[in-house]
């Protein structure tokens, strides 16, 4: 048996860590810098893929206790992985700056209350 299989708690921790990384990567970065820095925007997109994949493995009964449209990060994961050529980096930046901090707070609440 593989001892490296992440638990459901590990998956929630992965989401929190990915959020933290994204926010650190984009701290003090302008939208234009984000768009022009291919390494940076690729790193951010990869972390969003981790978030979307990890959410698939979190107990739905737990997620359903919290008011959030959980299909959005899962859908964005698929979009980033499969439609990578059409990603609007301005929208990704806006998501990072406007939505991700509250999302991370919600994820950290889930961790604290359930694991």
Per-residue pLDDT, averaged over 23-52, amounts to 97
Q: Which DSSP helix (H) or strand (E) runs through 41?
A: helix 38-55
Biggest alpha carbon distance in the chain? Answer: 47
As annotated, the active-site residues are 77, 82
For residue 2, the model assigns a pLDDT of: 56
Per-residue pLDDT, averaged over 105-111, amounts to 98
The domain ranges of the chain are 8-114
pTM of the model: 0.93
Q: pLDDT (tens digit, 9 = 90+) per residue, 63-85? A: 999 999 999 999 999 999 888 88
Write down the number of H helices and E strands in the chain: 7, 0
For residue 84, the model assigns a pLDDT of: 80
Confidence of residue 90 (pLDDT cuts 50, 70, 90): very high
């Amino acid at each position: 048996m593989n001892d490296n299989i992440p638990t459901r708690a590990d998956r929630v921790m992965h989401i929190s860590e990915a959020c933290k990384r994204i926010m650190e990567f984009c701290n003090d970065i302008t939208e234009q810098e984000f768009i022009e820095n291919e390494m940076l925007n690729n790193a951010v997109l990869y972390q969003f893929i981790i978030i979307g994949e990890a959410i698939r493995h979190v107990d739905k009964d737990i997620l359903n206790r919290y008011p959030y449209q959980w299909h959005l990060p899962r859908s964005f994961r698929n979009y980033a992985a499969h439609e990578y050529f059409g990603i609007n980096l301005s929208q990704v930046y806006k998501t990072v700056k406007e939505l991700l901090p509250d999302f991370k707070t919600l994820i950290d609440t889930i961790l604290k209350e359930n694991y």
